[in-house]
């Protein structure tokens, strides 16, 4: 899996530019502010002004701002930004800037510009998104040289309106990669790594003689984007009605948040947090959930997962659905046009979030053919409309095909899984994985997971098609109940927890 950016904390940001992040930075482009040092523009003023310390020429500043904007909007790597930066400073004859005198200094300066604007714009975009959540969780970003205070705040769970966030919303200094995730309740916060019982340090808001807060670098004690929101709202009130309406629509579009905006990496992080929470759980004395007597009453460990994975599928699925139903409604009635398939549809609906079921019901009732032949899903044109059709057995193929229906009903959810596939297989050629079937192997549990639906019968190695089986195969494993599903789940548990974590994270948090 290729890595476009060297530093893990940078990859976490530039791999996932999103609308609110780009909108925040573009809002800064309208106020290009010349400066001699970084202290010339202070705290919240950064929300509305782009600054590169020492760049005093308007045209130079504009070009530098455009370079950073492209890095944020396009997710450029650090080396791509450095190349652009070198070209700009040479073109404008900019000299005398800090770090110019040595390769190490130039590398440091470009990294600071790149990292700081990316982190601040990401944080501001997330702040806009987080407004829908009543509970916020502070998460440490995994920096190579962590600040002790930032590590101590990891898992801190507080109401969204707590004064702590006004001064400690990350980033909290140069190079800080901490972030905040939102939750609907304390129970959900725990699944995201939160610790509601964790107290705030006593001196968290006590400033030293220089006016600095513990663990917060000078000039970083503000929430990026918080002032931009009020600034723009004030602007709306003063505009002519037609312009005010247009800007209001844009503001709503950029500040809208529901959990469907959670990024790929955040959903994976949620799933991984759940997987880690399982370690140490006591295996119940239940012959239905645990067939191996010797494991009942023991604590689940990584060793047990590796050595006894074959005994875990039923218990694992039970724990996943138990966690899901604790934080959101599950179940409903799937619309089917075939009476014989109603019990099958009920089985599947009981294991899906209620709003996923509702999304599928926005499509016409699905026609279902129960058959031992190979299953498939397709949309058929019938009586003037496109209707969903499924052929399936009564085994876990049914879960597989109904997830294809979900992909059709909610392409945004499918796009998250597609993004993981593209990221993992970016350097791989398309290969034949079966008769008339093409895909990218990666390190998937089976080659079929990486199947791509290309149009050509003899595609070129660089051709691309939608990889719809990534999502269907992992949910067949997670929701199915037969031997095939068990084998798949064992494979994901032992060989591909990243994809399994994404599926769990989406099941717990994603809303259509």
Report helix angle 103-129 to 19-29, nearest 10.
Answer: 120
The DSSP output letter for 206 is -
**Distance in Å from the first CA to the final CA of the chain:** 29
**CB distance 100 to 106 below 8 Å:** yes
Average pLDDT across the chain, whole number:
74
H/E stretch holding 105: helix 103-129
CB atoms within 10 A of CB 66: 14
Helices (H), 223-334: 226-238, 241-255, 264-278, 302-307, 313-327
What is the Cα–Cα distance from 409 to 400, expressed in whole angstroms?
15
Q: How far apart are CA 167 and CA 116, in angstroms?
A: 17
Q: Strand 385-392 relative to strand 367-370: parallel, antiparallel, unpaired?
A: parallel
CA neighbor of 230 nearest in space, from 437, 27, 436, 18: 27
State the Cα–Cα distance between residues 59 and 328, nearest whole angstrom: 52
Residue 38: inside a domain, yes or no?
yes
Residue 251: inside a domain, yes or no? no
Please answer whether residues 258 and 20 qualify as being in contact, where contact means their C-beta atoms are separated by less than 8 angstroms. Answer: no
What is the distance between the alpha carbons of residues 157 and 328, in angstroms, rounded to a whole number?
A: 20
Please say if the pLDDT value at position 407 is more than 50.
yes
The alpha-helical segments, DSSP class H, found in 383-482 are 397-409, 411-424, 469-479
Flag whether 71 is in a domain.
yes
The CA distance from 201 to 149, in Å, is 9
Residue 325 resides in a domain: no
Reported as a single tens digit per residue, the pLDDT across 492-506 is 999 999 999 999 999
134, 153, 144: which is closest to 193 by C-alpha?
Answer: 153
317 phi and psi, to 5 degrees? -60, -40
pLDDT, residue 21, reads 42
**213 and 168 Cβ atoms separated by less than 8 Å:** yes
What does each C-alpha distance from 191 to 106, 457, 489 come to in angstroms? 42, 45, 21
pLDDT in tens, 306-362: 999 999 999 999 999 999 998 899 999 999 998 889 999 999 999 999 999 999 999
Q: Which two tokens stand for residue 490?
A: 């064992």
Cis previous bond, 171, omega within 30: yes
What is the Cα–Cα distance from 93 to 181, expressed in whole angstroms? 43
The confidence band for 123, taking pLDDT boundaries of 50, 70 and 90, is low
pTM: 0.57
Q: Do the domain assignments include residue 4?
A: yes
Q: Which two tokens stand for residue 391?
A: 């052929």
Q: With respect to residue 28, please indicate whether it lies within any of the assigned structural domains.
A: yes
Question: What's the pLDDT tens digit per position in 425-470?
Answer: 877 888 888 888 889 888 899 999 999 988 777 777 667 788 999 9
| pLDDT for the residue numbered 228 | 43
CA 102 to chain centre: 38
H or E element: which one contains 433? strand 431-434
Q: Is 162 exposed, middle or buried (0-12, 13-18, 19+ CB in 10 A)?
A: middle
Closest listed residue to residue 464, CA positions, set 433, 443, 435, 438: 438
Residue 404 lies in a domain: no
Looking at residues 202-220, what average pLDDT do you find?
Answer: 78
Give per-residue pLDDT as tens, 87-104: 665 554 555 444 455 555
Q: Over the stretch 21-70, which tens digit does the pLDDT of each residue have?
A: 444 434 443 333 333 333 333 333 333 333 333 333 333 344 455 555 55
C-alpha distances in Å from residue 421, one per residue of 57, 106, 228, 417, 449 = 44, 35, 35, 6, 9
Nearest to 400, CA basis, from 439, 344, 319: 344
DSSP state of 300: P
CB atoms within 10 A of CB 13: 27
Out of 12-26, 66-80, 194-208, 340-354, least confident range: 12-26
Domain total for the chain?
1
- Return the SS3 of 208: coil
**112: in domain:** yes
Q: Is the dihedral of CA 387, 393, 394, 395 positive or negative?
A: negative
Q: Which domain holds residue 48?
A: 1-122
């Amino acid at each position: 899996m290729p890595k476009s950016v060297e530093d893990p904390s940078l990859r976490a940001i530039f791999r996932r530019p999103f609308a609110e992040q780009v909108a925040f930075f573009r809002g800064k482009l309208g106020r290009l502010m010349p400066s001699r040092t970084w202290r010339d523009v202070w705290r919240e003023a950064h929300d509305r002004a782009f600054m590169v310390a020492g760049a005093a020429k308007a045209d130079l500043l504009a070009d530098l701002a455009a370079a950073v904007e492209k890095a944020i909007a396009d997710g450029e790597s650090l080396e791509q930004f450095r190349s652009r930066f070198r070209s700009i400073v040479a073109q404008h004859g900019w000299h005398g800037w800090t770090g110019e005198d040595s390769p190490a200094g130039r590398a440091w300066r470009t990294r600071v510009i790149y990292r700081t604007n990316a982190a601040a714009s990401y944080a501001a975009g997330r702040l806009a998104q987080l407004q829908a959540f009543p509970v916020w969780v502070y998460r440490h970003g995994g920096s190579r040289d962590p600040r002790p205070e930032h590590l101590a705040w990891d898992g801190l769970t507080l109401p969204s309106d707590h004064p702590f966030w006004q001064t400690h919303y990350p980033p909290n200094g140069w190079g800080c990669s901490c972030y905040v995730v939102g939750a609907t309740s304390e129970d959900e916060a725990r699944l995201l790594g939160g610790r509601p019982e964790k107290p705030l340090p006593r001196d968290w808001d006590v400033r030293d003689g220089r006016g600095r807060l513990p663990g917060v670098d000078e000039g970083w004690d503000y929430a990026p984007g918080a002032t931009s929101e009020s600034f723009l709202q004030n602007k709306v009130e003063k505009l002519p009605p037609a312009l005010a309406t247009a800007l209001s629509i844009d503001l709503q579009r950029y500040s809208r948040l529901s959990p469907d905006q959670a990024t790929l990496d955040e959903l994976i992080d949620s799933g991984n947090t759940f997987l880690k929470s399982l370690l140490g759980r006591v295996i119940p004395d239940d012959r239905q959930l645990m067939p191996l007597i010797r494991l009942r009453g023991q604590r689940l460990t990584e060793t047990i997962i590796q050595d006894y994975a074959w005994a875990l599928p039923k218990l694992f699925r039970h724990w996943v659905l138990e966690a899901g139903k604790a934080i959101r409604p599950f179940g409903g009635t799937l619309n089917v046009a075939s009476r014989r398939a109603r019990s099958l549809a009920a089985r599947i609906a009981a294991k899906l979030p209620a709003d996923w079921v509702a999304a599928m019901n926005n499509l016409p009732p699905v026609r279902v053919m129960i058959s031992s032949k190979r299953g498939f899903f397709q949309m058929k044109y019938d009586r003037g409309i496109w209707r969903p059709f499924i052929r399936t057995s009564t085994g876990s193929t049914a879960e597989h095909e109904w997830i294809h229906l979900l992909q059709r009903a909610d392409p945004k959810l499918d796009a998250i899984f597609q993004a993981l596939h593209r990221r993992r297989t970016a350097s791989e050629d398309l290969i034949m994985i079966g008769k008339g079937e093409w895909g990218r192997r990666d390190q998937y549990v089976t080659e079929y997971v990486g199947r791509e639906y290309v149009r050509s019968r003899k595609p070129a190695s660089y051709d691309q098609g939608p990889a719809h089986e990534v999502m269907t195969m992992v949910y067949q494993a997670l929701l199915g109940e037969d031997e095939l599903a068990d084998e798949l789940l064992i494979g994901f548990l032992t060989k591909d927890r990243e994809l399994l974590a994404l599926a769990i994270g989406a099941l717990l948090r994603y809303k259509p």
